[in-house]
Chain A
């Protein structure tokens, strides 16, 4: 069975700093996708970034980038120049290509301090 682990329940950083959220996962398969979702206080779930496992190049979306280490089964999210609006719960998620279900981690609550 696939699992997703986020070892940091809560983090706080000053505005404009860079922060890295950790995620590890476990699978015996090779073909999958990884995602980071953001859930602000409004409770919406917003896709931040996604990575295809077959791609070696790390995905980047503006201030958000990932460090995908397939051998280590690690998928960390880096937020550069953090902003107050980045305050939210962040969920790491995993999906097998052949499956229809997404598995979520327990989340990391991120506070951006002014």
Chain B
């Protein structure tokens, strides 16, 4: 089972460059999330999606954009990379069955991004 797959695993960007972090899941989950984890800190929600064509802002959306054209894919885009965006980024997915939102989130392995 592939689960949630994130690419790349590591990346170094220069200030002002742009890039897309890829996330795909093969569990047919409706819900997908992007988090960032700064050193010694917990996860902060950047954006999330409850289904194809629907996205919503999380706690720290500034400087990022997302799209959800298919159920499987939820890419995160940085348009103008800034040093403050140096972090580890996690993608997650979950399913919401039977009207009860009790499904745990499945996480990818993370992408370590450094902006220099």
| Interface residues of chain B: helix, strand, loop or mixed (majority) | strand
Task: Tell whether A44 is near chain B: CB-to-CB under 8 Å.
Answer: yes
Q: How many chain A residues have a CB neighbour from B under 8 Å? A: 24
Q: How many chain B residues have a CB neighbour from A under 8 Å? A: 25
Inside 8 A of B35's CB, which chain A residues have their CB? Answer: 104
Which A residues lie at the B interface, using CB under 8 A? 4, 9, 33, 35, 42-47, 50, 52, 91, 95, 97-102, 104-107
Inside 8 A of B48's CB, which chain A residues have their CB? Answer: 100-101
In this complex, the member of B42, B50, B96, B109 whose beta carbon has the largest number of chain A beta carbons within 10 angstroms is B42
A-B contacts, 27 listed (Cβ < 8 Å)? A4-B42, A33-B101, A43-B88, A43-B109, A43-B110, A44-B107, A44-B109, A44-B110, A45-B90, A46-B107, A47-B104, A50-B102, A50-B104, A52-B102, A95-B101, A99-B101, A100-B31, A100-B48, A100-B50, A100-B96, A100-B101, A101-B45, A101-B48, A102-B105, A104-B35, A104-B43, A105-B42
